[in-house]
Chains A and B, each alone.
Chain A
Amino acid sequence: MREITLSKAVNEAIAEEMRRDDTVFLMGEDVAEAGTPFKVLSGLVEEFGTERVIDTPISEPGFVGMAVGAAMTGSRPIVDLMFGDFLFLVMDQLCNQAAKTSYMSGGKLNVPMVLRTNLGATRRSAAQHSQSLHALVAHIPGLKVALPSSAFEAKGLMKTAIRDENPVVIFEDKLMYNDKAPVPEEEFLLPFGQANIVRQGRDVTLVATSSMVQVCQKAAELLEKDGISAEIVDPRTIVPLDEDTILDSVRKTSRAVVVDEGHQSFGVTAEIASRIGEKAFYHLDAPVQRMGAMDVPVPFSPALEDLTVPTPEAVAERAGMICRGELVHAA
């Protein structure tokens, strides 16, 4: 199968959907000629014109609000939010308006919009350009949240997001834009709420999202050298969450480490770990482990930043400890 970058995968997904459906349009800062700072959208304005690929002023609450209104009235906007950190600027429009419209109208109105943005630290961009804020959005009922972990997911999930009748927030890992993965040439969509078993294993389940899937793949290789067989489950979307696949895996391995790049407290790792605790408790041989980003703003200095996110070595170490029965309660 051909291999393409994550960037190209997103670009293809959007182009295909724009060709298929005239109501799809794109807006955001520097999305047209510049094709975004990460060059993900290059070429789209040439094909679809400035009527459908719209450069906006630096007015995030304004254009997200407009996307909500456009979506309620027959358009399917894709809004580009340059950095996930800018979610804090658009929270009212996203969480009070987009998320609640279907419910507040008793199902009479809906908001089929996609907000595409990113997550991920270690790019030396400091505290306001490095956050992974997907848990914050996932907390709000009415928003779907997709976390592609490779070019393949990025394409399939984006196409599904565009066709969804609800607001979907899709977070790409900004460090992965140039990473290649096999992506079929033929059209395909990936359903929401269906986890992917990235790797089969017997001894421990690593539940990993987005950027952490690669980290866990490397961790699994390290564990293998110690004779530990790790299974990796990538939920792909956290709303909706495919609980069954996660629970089935944990029931088989009887151990779990949940790894996600959001802050550890009150986040994705907490949610998934507690569901495992609630629903697979009697299958567990060790306390479920959580590994998220440290509960600190992301520091600039490489000497500090690298300490804040889970590494393959740290994941392997933690997983190894629970497999060897060395850790009864997390430190």
Chain B
Amino acid sequence: MAARNATRNASRNTSKRATRNNSDAYVRMYRQMVRIRAFEDNANQLYLSAKMPGLTHMYSGQEAVAVGICEALEDSDNITSTHRGHGHCVAKGAEFKQMFCELLGKEEGYCRGKGGSMHIADQSHGNLGANAIVGGSMGIATGAALTAKRLNTGNVAVCFFGDGATAQGLWYEVMNMAALWKLPVIYACENNGYSEYTKTEEIAAGSITARAEAFGIEAFEVDGQDVLAVNDLTTKLVARARKGEGPFFMNLSTYRYHGHHVGDINRDYYRSKDEEAEWKDKRDPITNFGKWLEDEKIMTAEELVALNDEVRADAEAAVQYALEAKYPDGSEVTMHVFHEPA
């Protein structure tokens, strides 16, 4: 099939030599991945100790995707996020305090407690929101790219979605228009292999990259556990998208470590413990990147430990803060139904 051959395979990048002037960026990427993991571990604890209202979908295991991509973006670039959105939120520049406040429905949360886990977003860094409708943000991201083109802002938009979301018809409608109008949008499929409790290969026909290619959109396969590979590819695509060469599609293979949501604990019926162990033990994006930083002498083992400890302490302090923070006043319930310019 011609379309398949056109699929680019982004080269794994970890064999490359680090360049000194990039070391700040590497450390930042490592830190951001650790921050996401720390956020999620605390979120899980909050759920298990019945301190968090509702459920949450954890991002642990997929950190290299959000971080590799968001580190290639400028602050003014847009992203759209999903029900599994904590990672995107952190990676696009959010702070722990307001995130934990949102998770617990407190007034100081990014959405003043109105959104919660599934709508968490720091809007001031270009995050257009996390979405509880699978595929629900595909139009929004493409529309942001339409603004970028019409107003010539130079921004790009990244649309994060899961493999399950590729079943939504909306994606095919907006890809068609994005391709016709050469919009600066990058569709980033976080392919963790599962849609809830079903292996996505059981409910997806043909090839996902070929679907994008059918619209004349360049499609790329990339190892979503390798933050440098993700970052490298995204950096190139962002530069090209800014020049009007978009849209693009990335299929990032990755894995979610936890259940579909925090309550999905007995999951043997749909995926094996061996499979989970294989990804966690051999392909962990944080462990592997940490090793690489050590090998490249960018960070020492002690520095890595210190960074981890510092981030964990930050997260725990933010949790404590959020637990003590106040709920929104009841009068807020009717606020914001319609937008009132400040």
Binding site for B on A (CB under 8 A): 29-30, 33-34, 37, 55-59, 61-62, 85-86, 89, 123-129, 294-297, 299-304, 307-308
Contacts and interface: CB of A to CB of B under 8 A. Distances in A.
Contacts of B134: 58
A128 B333 contact: no
A294 B204 contact: no
Given A57-B204, A124-B55, A128-B119, 12 more contacts: A30-B196, A55-B202, A126-B116, A126-B132, A128-B131, A128-B132, A300-B53, A300-B117, A301-B53, A301-B116, A304-B333, A307-B330
A129 B118 contact: yes
Contacts of A302: 53, 105, 327
A299 B111 CA distance: 10
B113 A124 contact: no
5 contacts: A33-B197, A55-B202, A126-B54, A126-B132, A303-B327
| Contact residues of A: prevailing secondary structure | loop
A124 B116 contact: yes
Q: Please indicate which of the listed interface residues B197, B269, B327, B330 has the most CB atoms of chain A within 10 Å of its own CB.
A: B197
B132 A129 contact: yes
Interface residues of B, number: 41
B327 A34 contact: no
A126 B165 contact: no
B68 interface: no
B119 A127 contact: yes
Contacts of B117: 300
B337 A295 contact: yes
Given A33-B270, A86-B133, A299 B114 contact: yes
B328 A304 contact: yes
A30 B337 CA distance: 33
B322 to A, nearest CB: 12
Contacts of A128: 118-119, 131-133, 136
B216 interface: no
A124 B117 CA distance: 10
A94 B55 CA distance: 30
B114 A301 contact: yes
B244 interface: no
B106 interface: yes
B198 interface: yes
A56 B169 contact: no
